[in-house]
Structure 1
Amino acid sequence: MITIWQGLSLLLIALAAAGCLFQVASALLVHRFQRAPKPAPAARPPVSVMKPLCGAEPGMAENLESCLRQDYPQFQMVFGVADAADPALKVVEALPRDLPGVEIETVADATRHGLNLKVGNLLNMWPKVRHDLIVVADSDIRVGPHYLDDLAAPFADPKVGVVTCLYVGRPVPGLWSALGAMGINHGFLPGAVLARAIGRKDGCFGATMAVRRSVLEKGGGLQALSPVLADDWVLGRMARDQGLEIALAARPVDITVHEPDLKALLDHEIRWGRTIAAVDRASYMASVITQPVALALLAVLAGGGWLPSLAALGLAALCRLWAVRVEERALGLPPAGFGRLALREILSFVVYVVACGGRTVVWRGRRFAVRADGTLDQVEGSQT
C-alpha cells in the first residue's frame, strides 16, 4: 500500500520525468539552432545603435570595439552616460575613430526620466538617433562582424516589428561569474529556444533589441518603457499589440558575466526571476519543471529514501549532465566540473523559490517593488 508521502514522491517523480524530457528537447534544439543556416539580409538600411553605459565594466573596451567593427555599410553608434565623470567615457574616447561606415556620438546627461535609469539614459540619447532602424544594446555584449546583418535580415518580412538576440554567458575569472554564466547557458538560453519551438514567440531579450522607429513611436516611444523594470518585455509587447512579430537573430551574442560575490549573483538572478514572475507569474511558477534534479531530490526526501525516488534522482542527474554537455559542445564552452554543476543546480532552485515568494528587487544599489504590471515602486529608504 502506498502511503501519502510515497504518493507525493510519485507526483514529484512524474514532474522530474517531465523535466528530463524538457532537458533533452531543449539541448537538442540548442544544437540545431547553432547549426541552422545564417541568412543574409535582403537589404542593409542605415542603423542607429544605442549603447547606454554606466561604469567601466570588465572587458568593456573589447565589447564596445566589437560593435564598431561591423561588416556593414552605414551605421551610427550613440553612447550615453548619466554622469559626465563616468569612467565609461574614457573607454569610449579610446575607441578607434577611423573605421569605415560608422559614425560615433556621445551623450552625457543627468536628466532623470522615471525609475528605470537605463531607459532614462536612452531618452537622453534619443535626440542624436538619426536612422529608422534602431538597435538598443547592452554594454556587456561582444559580437562578431555579422552582428548588424543578423539583426537587419529578419526585417525583410514586413510582419516583423522587433528583432532580438539570444546570448551566451562568457564569465570573467571567478566562481560566482562562472556560476552566473552557467545559469544563462544551461537555463535561460535552452529555455528560450524551446519556448519558440513550441510556438511561444513573445520573448524579447534586453541584451540586444532592434526595432523599427515607426513601431517604437506608434507604441508610445521610449517613454512607455521608463516606469518598468522589464523594458525588454514591454518593447516586445509594443510590437505584438500592433500585430507584429518578434523575430530571433540567427546567431547569439556573447555577454560578459561579472559577479564579484554570492550576494551580487543572487541579487541579479532574483531580480530576473521576480521581474518575469511579475509580468507572467503562471509561466514562472510552471518553470519548476525545468529543474528535474531538484524535483527528484524532493521526491527522495518525501519518500524517505524510497527506492523509486532514488532511481529517479540518479536518472535525473544523468539526464541533466547529458543536456549540459550537449549545450557546452553546441555553444563552444569548456566542460564544467561536477562540483560547479551541483552548486549551480542548488542555486537555481534557491533562486526559483525566493523569486516566487516576493516582489522586491535590488538594482544598481536601489531596492524596488515590482508591481503586477511590471512597473516599479522605489522602496522607502533605499539609495537614490
Structure 2
Amino acid sequence: MIGFWQGLSLLLLAAAGFGCLYHIIAAQLVRSFAQRQPVPPSARPPVSVMKPLCGAEPGMAENLSSCVAQDYPDFQLVFGVAQPDDGALAEVAKLPTDRVEITTVVDPTPHGRNLKVGNLLNMWPHVRHDLIVIADSDIRVGPAYLDHVVAPFEDAKVGVVTCLYVGRPVEGLWSALGALGVNHGFLPSALVARAIGRKDGCFGATMAVRRGVLEHAGGLAALSDSLADDWVLGNLVRKQGLHIELAARPVDIMVHEDDFQTLLAHEIRWARTIAAVDRPSYQASLVTQPVALAMMAAAVGGGSMISLIGVVVACLSRLWAVRAQEAALGLPRAGLGLLGLREFLSFVVYVVASCGRTVIWRGRRFVVRRDGTLDLAEGSIP
C-alpha cells in the first residue's frame, strides 16, 4: 500500500510531467509565432499614439525615437506627464518634429487610483484620430510597428489589437532575470492561452482600439480604478461581441531593474494582477513549473530513484524549451546558473503572489480587490 508521502510524491511527479509537456508545446507555439509572415494593411488610416510617461528611464531616448521613425504616412504622437519637472520631458524635446506631429501634455489632475490611466485621461482631449494606439514608454519598436498593429483591423470583428513583447535587459543581473521571466514565462504562456481558446489576453505594452469602440466601452474612465487596466479594456471590448487580436510581430520591452527588491515588487504586482482577474487559472499555473514540482516530489518522497529521475527530466525539458525559444526569438543563450536562479525566483513569486493582495506601485501601497480595482492601503499617501 502506498503511504501518504509516497502518494504525494507521485502526484507531484505527475504534475511535473504535465508541466514538461506544457513547455514542449509552448516552445513549438513560440516557433510558429516567430515564423508568421506579417500581412501589410490594404488601408493605412491616420493613427494617434498615446504614450504616458513617468520619469526618464534608461533607454528612453531610443525607445521614443523608434516610435517616431515609423514607415507610416499619417500618425500623431501624444506624450503625457503629470509634473513639469518630469525628466521624460527633456527626452521628448529632443525628438524631431519634421515627419510626425508631436503633442506634449503636462497635467497633474488626478483621475482614480490608476496613475497611468489618469495620465491618459489628461491626454485624451488632444487625441485627434479615430484609430488609437496606447503604448508604454519602455517599448522599442521597428519601423513597421504601426502597420503590424493596424493590419488586423481590416476584420470588422476585431475590437482591440495588442502586442506580445520580448524582454531586453538594459544592464545587470536583476534586469537579466526580469527579461528571462518575460521571454520564458509571459510570452509562451500567452500563446498557450490563445491556442486553447483563451483569447482574452490584452497586454498593456500596446493596445490599439477604435475611438467608437473605446467610447462605447465607457472610455478610459472605465479603467481608472483598475490595476489590470489592459485586461479590463479587453473585457469591455469583448462584451461588445468583438475580438482581441495579436499583432504579427512582438515589440521589445526594455527591462531595467535596479535591485532585487525592485524586481520582486514588480513581479509580485504583475502576478497579483493576474491573480486578481482570474485566481483559479493563476493557482493552476503552478503546473507550468515542473522543476519546482519535481524537486518537491523528491523532497517528500525521500529522494527515491523515480523522483530523482523526475528532477532530471524536468530540468532537461525546461532547458530544451528555453533554448528553443531563444533560437526562435533570436535571443542570446542564458547561462545555466541564471536559468536556475530564474526558476527559483518564479516559484517564490508564485507563492508570495498567491498569499496576499497588496502591491507596491510607484511608491504607493495598494490593496487589489477581487474585481481587480485598487484601494490605497492604510498609511499610504494619496
TM-score with structure 1 setting the length: 0.99
- Say whether residues 1:267 and 2:265 are aligned partners: yes
Tell me the distance in 2 between the aligned counterparts of 1:8 and 1:306: 13
Match for 2:287 among 277, 286, 289?
A: 289
SS in 1 for 2:109: coil
| 1:277 Cα deviation from its structure 2 partner | 0.5
Identity of aligned residues (%): 71
Contact 1:54 1:86 survives alignment (8 Å): yes
Match for residue 7 of structure 1?
A: 7
1:49 corresponds to which residue? 49
Question: Within 5 Å, which residues of 2 pair with 1:1-384?
Answer: 1-99=1-99, 102-384=100-382
**Conserved in 2, the CA contact under 8 Å of 1:122 and 1:222?**
yes
- Check conservation: 1:141, 1:255, Cα contact below 8 A: yes
User: After TM superposition, where is structure 1 displaced by more than 2 Å over at least 4 residues in a row?
Assistant: none
Match of 2:370, SS state, is coil
Offset of 1:381 from its aligned partner? 1.1
How big is each residue's C-alpha offset from its partner over 1:262-282, in whole Å with a ceiling of 9 and x where there is no partner?
000000000011111111001
TM-score (norm 2): 0.99
Q: Give the secondary-structure state (helix, strand or coil) at the position aligned to 2:175.
A: helix
Aligned partner letter, 1:108: V
The answer to whether the Cα contact below 8 Å between 1:9 and 1:302 also exists between their aligned partners in 2 is: yes
Q: Note the aligned Cα RMSD (angstroms).
A: 0.7
Distance in 2 separating the partners of 1:120 and 1:84? 16
Q: Whole-Å Cα distance in 1 between the matches of residues 97 and 290 of structure 2?
A: 50
- Tell me if the contact between 1:50 and 1:79 (Cα under 8 Å) persists in the aligned partners: yes
SS at match of 2:192: helix
Q: Tell me the distance in 1 between the aligned counterparts of 2:41 and 2:195.
A: 23
**Separation in 1, partners of 2:311, 2:339:** 15
Residue 345 of structure 1 aligns to a residue whose secondary structure is helix
What secondary structure, in the 3-state scheme, does the structure 2 residue paired with 1:144 have?
coil
Q: CA deviation at 1:76?
A: 0.4
Q: CA deviation at 1:383?
A: 3.7
Alpha-carbon separation, structure 1, partners of 2:171 and 2:362: 22
Deviations 1:110-147 (A, max 9, x none): 00001100000000000000000000000000000010
Shift in Å, 1:49: 0.2
Distance 2:150 2:38 in 1: 12
* SS in structure 2 at match of 1:162: strand
Whether the 8 Å contact between 1:294 and 1:349 is mirrored in structure 2 is yes
SS of equivalent to 2:322: helix
- 1 CA distance for matches of 2:240 and 2:96? 39
Q: Which amino acid aligns with 2:64?
A: L
Q: CA shift at 1:42, angstroms? A: 2.0
Distance 1:26 1:43 in 2: 33
Q: Work out the CA distance in 1 between the residues paired with 2:12 and 2:224.
A: 41
Cα deviation code 1:205-255 (max 9, x no counterpart): 000000010110001000000011100001100110100000000000000
C-alpha distance in structure 2 between counterparts of 1:89 and 1:297, whole Å: 49
Whether contact under 8 Å (1:365, 1:383) holds in the other structure is no
Matched AA of 1:312: G
CA positional deviation for 1:199: 1.2
- SS at structure 1 position matched to 2:161: strand
1:367 and 1:194 map into 2 onto residues whose CA distance is 32
Describe the SS at the equivalent of 1:272.
Answer: helix
Structure 1 segments unaligned to the other structure (5+ residues)? none
1:198 Cα deviation (Å)?
1.3
The separation in 2 between residues aligned to 1:269 and 1:350, in whole angstroms, is: 10
Shift of 1:2: 2.2
* Gap runs ≥5 in structure 2: none
* Equivalenced residues, count: 382
Q: Offset of 1:98 from its aligned partner?
A: 1.7
Give how far 1:89 is off.
0.3
